[in-house]
Amino acid sequence: MRMNASMRAAALPALVAGVLLGSAPAYAQVDFSGTWILDRAISADLAKVTLEPPAQTQARRMPGGLSGGFGGRGFGGGNRRQGQSGGNERGDSRGAALADEERVRLREVTTFVKTLGTATIEHTDHSTFTVTDAQGHAHLFPTDGTKTPQTFAAAALDTLTKWDGPHMVTVFTIGPTHDLVFTYILVPASRQLALRIQLEESGRPRTDVPELRLVYKLQSATHSARGARH
């Protein structure tokens, strides 16, 4: 039975909660390697993915930047941008308006995400994390937290990839205060992978851009062999 939109919305939080509870206790034991197939019945619709704030909901950019003391999810529970806050000076949770170049970067990553109906991950030595999309485009991320540029068709973005407990987190730098955060969560027992994508402003999720949640199933060796023969 195929789930409708409301059923998917109800199922996703429970599934992601299960993913979090079922994750491996130590990152040294986690291997994300494999070919992962999107479970479309319980995932967001890739064809409709947008990671940009709606233009009409963006707050007017305020002079003087950001202030305050909101915390962020960061790595290991800390704030990746210490001393900064989400929102703007008026406390508007919608966040500041994006610059044109920030929108271009978001669109480039959005195009990449839309190709992730199938994702092949190579991660056997744990020092790198390589994601290859359904079109054969590969992006390699060192997992030691070093800044690594990723090149797309119309823009290059700096990224930083690091362990967050048993999860892998890649941060795409969109602008001075905006990041796009990819969190990969593995559930070995059910052979599932969850990918959560969130636009953050100064370490705080923007409320005008819902978190994107994608759930994958590990492709079996038998299925792979059949695909190779065809």
Share of the chain above pLDDT 90, in %: 60
Give residue 111's identity as a one-letter amino acid code. Answer: T
Question: What pTM did the predictor assign?
Answer: 0.73
What are 78-120's pLDDT values in tens digits? 344 433 444 444 445 568 899 999 999 999 999 999 999 999 9
CATH number at residue 64: 2.40.128.20
State in Å, rounded, how far the first CA of the chain is from the last one.
28
CB atoms near residue 155 (< 10 Å): 16
Average pLDDT over residues 201-229: 81
Q: How many domains does the chain have?
A: 1
What are 117-145's pLDDT values in tens digits? 999 999 888 899 999 999 999 999 999 99
Confidence (pLDDT) at 54: 86
What are the beta bridge partners of residue 158?
Answer: 149
Range of the domain at 33: 5-229
Cα 87 to Cα 147: distance, rounded to the nearest angstrom: 25
CB atoms near residue 99 (< 10 Å): 14
Q: For the chain, where are the E strands, in sequence order?
A: 34-38, 118-122, 128-132, 138-142, 144-151, 156-164, 167-173, 178-187, 192-201, 204-205, 212-218
Cα 72 to Cα 200: distance, rounded to the nearest angstrom: 9
CB-side neighbour CA atoms (13 Å) of 174? 28
What counts of helices (H) and strands (E) characterise the chain?
3, 11
Tell me which of 49 and 224 has the higher pLDDT.
49
